[in-house]
Amino acid sequence: MRMGEREIDQENRKTRFLRFLVDLSIASIQQDDLSFDEALKIVEDVKQAACNFFPGKEETFELIYRPRFQRVIYERFG
């Protein structure tokens, strides 16, 4: 595998893992016995993980994932 292909493969793996982490976290917010503050903490923990995987992409998290989390939290807690 060439260096460029290896980097693309690694980027794809990180993206898939982040998608899995977001989906799992959303399911947890929807189904687990959590407080509102615990749900917000999950969102911040996922954001931190996303920023560790993709440094400098905080705005991307805010544009793509924050609205999904807000919708789920609103549906759950009103």
- List the pLDDT tens digit at each of the 78 positions of the chain: 676 889 999 999 999 999 999 999 999 999 999 999 999 999 999 999 999 999 999 999 999 999 999 999 999 999
pLDDT of residue 3: 67
What domain range is 14 assigned to?
A: 3-77
Per-residue pLDDT, 1: 61
What DSSP string runs through the chain? --HHHHHHHHHHHHHHHHHHHHHHHHHHHHHS---HHHHHHHHHHHHHHHHHHSTT-HHHHHHHTHHHHHHHHHHHH-
Domain count along the chain: 1
- Cα angle 65-3-22, degrees, rounded to a multiple of 5: 15
